[in-house]
Structure 1
Amino acid sequence: MAARLPLDLDPPVRQLRALLLGVDDRELIAPTPCPGWSVATLLDHLMSLAEAFTEAARRGADAGGDRPPRPPSAAHLSPHWRSRLPVRLEELATAWHAPVAWRGLARAGGITMPAPEMGVVAANELVMHGWDLARATGQDFAVDPRVLAALVPFLSAAPAEGTPGFLGPRVPIDPEEDEWPRALGLAGRDPAWRPPRSHDVPTVRRGSREQPPAARRA
């Protein structure tokens, strides 16, 4: 019988790969919930983090070296991201399928920590940036309950003021809210964030049943 892994990264990877199909070239300059980041900047970050966490799984504490990660930039986004990013994400999920990836220490972004914690960090990056991308491009998003169950304790233990370059300061959320909005708040995100609308033109979110006001009145 195959060993049971602490966490399955397949669900967030599958969702991210599906979200990539819904990104229009015109949306690359659109803002995201990450302050100062466009969709293109977010995609560049996903390219880098997918490679870094794959190496962390494969090489443990020997991965990455001591250089800090390159700041994400829309200017650095590969013109071939549509073909390369899905492959990198799949390689990440495959690397963390190996039981050895969850043993000992792992290193990514110049930081070394126990491998099980690094796996949760990878899951958090995939889930939160998946939500960022979905919100920025008007797509639906749903988090896997098993992944969410691992993220909440991890995010609850993080400093309330956030961690520069990783988590923003916590956003206060109504304690009566569901677990997912509270997780977003713990990760420094406002669950109510929406991209600004140009000239207040009514739009239909892709993948939703919401209709423009005129259609609803018909």
Structure 2
Amino acid sequence: MDIYSLKKLLEGVKKGNIEIEDAIKNLKSLPFEDLGYAKVDHHRSIRNGYPEVIYCEGKTDEHILGIIEKMNENKSNILGTRAKKETYKKIKKIYPNCEYEELGRIIKIQNKPMEKLGKGNIVVVTGGTSDISVAEEAYHTAQFLGNEVKRLYDVGVAGIHRLLNNKEVLFDAKVIIAVAGMEGALPSVIGGLVDVPVIAVPTSVGYGANFNGLSALLTMLNSCASGISVVNIDNGFGAGYLASMINKL
């Protein structure tokens, strides 16, 4: 249940269209439902504005399906991250409206229209093509949460003219997600060009001394450009979620 469904339920009780007993039945699974292996947080959209997101990596298909079943009963929109294609195929057989974004490893089940909460554009930028899988996780997360999102891929500092040739896209953004591996310089360059928040996402793309993204992470944390925040290595979901929170303010 989200905040809008809760308001509708309470308005129905107030007007006498819904019996109190029926309202209690709808509310009894709040704030969470204990499945033994998971406690499904039905209350989260009321507290935070967004339903709980399923992190699929490390979970069995049976556990993922069990969580989806309970969220589906509550008519929640469902987003799953780090999902395998094999898992998606099993879900699709039971929930035909399930969609899969293969590059970003995202599963989506849209049970009701997502209200457009964002007030401007979120732009997802990558340094290279190798960063796109992380960028796609950010893109589809932000889009699913009710934002207009644009892509600007393969415009890293090794060919900075590609970035500068797209300045208007950057200037039109309310929030920018900058995804880069290697030395991770892209967010600093973008931060020096724009007057909006830049969310830096280090990726594990790079050779040995990249230390699986640690070098990019440290570069971004030590950026001399103002207005940059940094999420964890390869955390496209966290960047997309944060960008959505900023964009709806």
* TM-score normalized by the length of structure 2: 0.23
Larger proportion of strand: 2
Of structures 1 and 2, the one with the larger relative CO (CA 8 A, separation 6+) is 1
Larger proportion of helix: 1
Q: Please identify the structure whose Cα radius of gyration is greater.
A: 2
